[in-house]
Structure 1
């Protein structure tokens, strides 16, 4: 894993973005689309565990 080799590396998850985000508004517009997105994000975070820290 990158974090093991580079422990100070900051990794962020991005949804949407400036490019390649044409499908996001349609996805976010429906309840089913939002539910699917949330389920896929949870599955991603379970597959690739994240260590969260607070921004205080």
Structure 2
């Protein structure tokens, strides 16, 4: 997204089911909006992969 300046993640520890995300936006856009859009896009890609291999 052109509104996102930086996006990254880290996994705190392999034994923990926890991921930290950092999203830095340009301007007043709240980070939750591009985060939700990214998750939605990822779900679409995963669904496409599942459909391809069925």
Greater per-residue strand proportion = 2
TM-score for the superposition, normalised by structure 2: 0.38
TM-score for the superposition, normalised by structure 1: 0.37
